[in-house]
Copies of this chain bind each other. A is one copy, B any other.
Amino acid sequence: MRYYEDVEIGSTATFGAYDVTAAEIKEFAEQYDPQWFHTNPDRAAAESPYGGLIASGWHTAAMSMRLLVDCLLNEAATVGAKGVDGLRWRRPVQPGDRLSVRATVEEREVDSDQRGTVRLHVETTNRDGEVVFVMVGIVMFARRDT
């Protein structure tokens, strides 16, 4: 289990993969972001500049979260997130893409005897290593002593 004291500024970890499918893009978007370029493959093939469906930005964020939970947060003494800043979608995410996540510790700061806050810069990349999405998580970690 990694505590606040174990988090090293500048350290980087890369993990994944998450395989993106047309069915999941459509399913997520029908529930949460029903815009045609996320839900209608025929219209997207005909009219979208990307030549087909692209994932909702919120879906890309959610897939990135799944990689973070499986590979990082489940082994860390996190006690929730204060928030997330700077979500930017750099490139479209399409069916057949395989996503990975690179997380870098930017800053850390003690909040109290019980916990500290870590700023985690997160980049989501595709199979070609291109960055498709970035965000900065403000994550609270328990301190080891307590």
Contacts and interface: CB of A to CB of B under 8 A. Distances in A.
Copies in the complex: 2
Interface in A54-94: 56-58, 61-63, 65-66, 69-70, 73-74, 81-89
A112 interface: no
Nearest to A70: B34
A114 interface: no
B69 A34 contact: yes
A134 to B, nearest CB: 9
Contacts of A88: 82-83
Contact of A62 (B35, B62, B81): B62
B61 A58 contact: yes
B85 A32 contact: no
Contacts of A73: 35
Contacts of A62: 28, 31-33, 58, 62
A50 to B, nearest CB: 11
Contacts of A74: 35
Contacts of A34: 66, 69-70
Contacts of A84: 57, 87
